[in-house]
Amino acid sequence: MDRIFVCKNVSQKSARILLTNGGDIVIIYKTERTLFFCNRVGKRCDMQRVYSLIVDNNPGVLSRISGLFSRRGYSIDSITAGLTADPRFTRITIVASGDELILSQIEKQVRKLEDIVEIKVLDPSESVYRELIMVKIRANASERAEIISVADIFRAKIVDVEKESLMVELTGTQSKLDGFLNLLDGYEILELARTGITGLKRGIKDVTYIDESGNISDN
């Protein structure tokens, strides 16, 4: 499947059929921890799952994790990494897709890696996901105002303007970013950079605390 279509308002036991701009039929439904999607009626659906990892901030940790995915043939849709509030640790967010068996294996195999402190699955109904995109668009003086109007609708920022181009920065959900790109259809996109998803669980019930000795406790 070339693209993943996310629908927020899908109840746990319901399914929704969407007709995309390209004419593909997309069936979407959600279980407790997983968003299912498929692009043809009657075919088994793949699944997309978001994993949040806390890892020791050691050299090469990201390459070891990606190497595990490569060796076992797991599919990574996106991966992001950055320091946590505690500089000893890095938070890595991985979006992976596959069937239920593969996704459960991913969690088990990643947990076995030496640098992994904790791994959690981010339930879409109990978490906040965000992604950042930067788009450089070819635009003359007359086109510039039209693009800025589209950017204003999505509360995007114009971060650079040149005589023949402008650059737009937008942060939001996957669906918001995809909607913005759809409205840019007809303009020439010169370059595009997309960070991939990062996210956190809502509230304080599932916050992980790590003391100076490396011991883990949940709130």
Query: Hey, where are the domains in the chain?
Result: 48-126, 128-198
Using CA atoms, how far apart are residues 194 and 134, in angstroms rounded to an integer? 6
Average pLDDT over residues 122-151: 93
| pLDDT(146) > 70 | yes
Q: What is the pLDDT of residues 155-196, one digit of tens each?
A: 999 999 999 999 999 999 989 999 999 999 989 999 999 999
Q: What is the pLDDT of residue 110?
A: 93
218 CB-contact burial (10 Å; exposed 0-12 / middle 13-18 / buried 19+): exposed
Entry pTM: 0.72
Are 48-126 and 128-198 equal in CATH topology? yes
Which of the residue ranges 1-10, 28-37, 88-97 has the most confident prediction, judged by mean pLDDT? Answer: 88-97
| pLDDT(95) > 60 | yes
Return the ∠ at Cα 69 (arms to 65 and 75), rounded to 5°. 130
What CATH number should be reported for the domain whose range is 128-198? 3.30.70.1150
Q: Does the domain spanning 48-126 belong to CATH 3.30.70.260? A: yes
Q: What is the pLDDT of residue 48?
A: 87
Q: What is the pLDDT of residue 199?
A: 93
Q: How confident is the model at residue 207 (pLDDT cuts 50, 70, 90)?
A: confident
